[in-house]
Amino acid sequence: MFSSLNAQNNLSLKDAITKMLANNFDISISKNDWSIASMNNTKANAGMLPRVNINLSDNLSNNNLFQKFTNGTEIKRILYLEII
């Protein structure tokens, strides 16, 4: 049975810091956030251009009333109401 051992490479402080910065996930996220913010930095997103909002609504009510009494009297009322 033979075992092989491989020695690790020695790193200088500068190489260690460079490797750490290249593999740091938080730094990658910050760079992506900066890129997204730069792309979203437009006049429209900054509020320099006017914003136009339009709201439309329509209400319709249709109530029909049909009543028949025991004496034979009938009442028919049709109510149509449109509110704009």
Q: Which two tokens mark 83? A: 């509110």
Q: Which residues lie closer than 8 Å to 67 by C-beta, 6 or more apart? A: 74, 75, 76
User: From first to last of its 84 residues, what are the pLDDT tens digits of the chain?
Assistant: 566 666 677 888 898 888 888 888 888 899 899 998 888 887 777 777 777 888 887 777 777 888 888 898 988 887 766 665
Structural domains counted in the chain: 1
Secondary structure, 3-state, the chain: CCCCCCCCCCCCHHHHHHHHHHCCHHHHHHHHHHHHHHHHCCHHHHCCCCCCCCCCCCEEEEEEEEEECCCCCEEEEEEEEEEC
Q: What is the pLDDT of residue 44?
A: 72
Domain span at 79: 13-83
* Predicted TM-score of the model (pTM): 0.35
Say if 70 falls within a structural domain. yes
Element (DSSP H or E) covering residue 24:
none
In a domain, 42, yes or no: yes
Is 2 contained in some domain? no
Please report the pLDDT score of residue 33 as a whole number: 92
